Amino acid sequence: MATPLEPFGIPASPLIHPEVEVIEAENLRWARRLGLVGDARGEERLRRARIAQAAARIAWHAPVERVVLFAQWLTWIIVIDDLQDEAGPGLDSGAVHRAYARLEGILEGQGTDADAPAVERALAELWSRTATPMSRAWRERFIGHVRLQRDAFIEQTRLRRSGRVPTLDEYPRLRRHTNSIFAFDLSEPVYALEIAPALLPAWLALCEPINDLMAWCNDIVSVARDAADGETTNYVFVFQHALGCDTPTAVARVRGRIQERWKDLATAEQALRREARRLALDTPGLLRLTATLCQVPSAHLGWLLESSRYQSWEAPIASP
């Protein structure tokens, strides 16, 4: 089955950090040191997935050391996502809960052993470098978003084991929470700006359509891989099941939802700017970060069109 890449009805951004090669080299060294890639084949897979390029596209004007940190977070997220996906229907919700209990313990200050799995050791290092300058409220928000992902992965696991396809009403929330919603919190340490508590409702309302756009574009480009895996949690398959239609028709419906959500993003951006003005929080830094965040779906699409990640099925980068 050919992967239908275009058109999405939204633009793909050409912007990329000028030091992308440095970012990629540092990310590879880090992944190798932490054991997230174990051999030359794993390193080549990471290169071809172009995770560092994704970070360089999304955070194209941040300080290079912050983009390196962001690339390392994205690499960790991809590994976690692959471990969930490639476990297949044999994975049970108890295993997901136990895995996340260990990850949450790290975020709450528990140490890791030298022989802990690579994903746990990598998280401990990332968290120590990311959370230190941030407030307790930010750290609690981040952990809360990780827990939402845990719950969504547990729900996804149950759906996979039962073979049930989620409904059109159920799917957007489920997909939003499996799509690493805590990654949006990382925009604040990357740009050294923390969102004021009074502005958080408008900020989170802006992040939702961005998350949805990224997730639904991912669903389209991963149709072939997900079909081969017998996946049920993909927006294309949800439309197919709900409407009794073929794949091209379902893809067209998801593209239509992408175009609608693109308009929602513009509305959410305007609402955030109005609320920031009302609260006298419309600083140049906030306005620039808002504009940057609104470019993320286009930056992400630029990465999707160049990455090898969805061109064929492959085993996960790392083992549990």
pLDDT tens track for 138-154: 999 999 999 999 999 99
Q: What's the confidence (pLDDT) of residue 317? A: 39
- Given a cut of 90, whether residue 101 has pLDDT beyond it is yes
Separation in Å, CA 41 to CA 12, 47, 80, 317: 29, 10, 19, 9
Q: What is the CATH number of domain 20-304?
A: 1.10.600.10
Q: Is residue 278 a contact partner of residue 193, using CB atoms and an 8 Å limit?
A: no
Instruction: Write down the domain spans for the chain.
Output: 20-304
Q: Chain centroid to CA 144: how far?
A: 16
- Quote the CA–CA distance of 84 and 87 in Å, as a whole number: 6
**Model's pTM, two decimal places?**
0.91
Rounded mean pLDDT of the chain? 90
- Quote the CA–CA distance of 197 and 137 in Å, as a whole number: 9
- Given a cut of 50, whether residue 319 has pLDDT beyond it is no
pLDDT tens track for 194-242: 999 999 999 999 999 999 999 999 999 889 888 888 888 999 999 999 9
- Given a cut of 90, whether residue 82 has pLDDT beyond it is no
Which residue in 296, 269, 141, 151 sits closest to 212, CA to CA? 296
Which residue in 101, 104, 77, 275 sits closest to 181, CA to CA? 77
Residue type, 214: M
- Quote the CA–CA distance of 165 and 38 in Å, as a whole number: 35
- The proportion of the chain whose per-residue pLDDT surpasses 70, expressed as a percent, equals 92
User: Helix axis angle, 51-58 relative to 296-304, nearest 10°?
Assistant: 160
Q: Is residue 53 a contact partner of residue 24, using CB atoms and an 8 Å limit?
A: yes
Lowest mean pLDDT across 4-13, 146-155, 178-187? 4-13
pLDDT tens track for 260-273: 999 999 999 999 99
Q: What's the confidence (pLDDT) of residue 4? A: 40
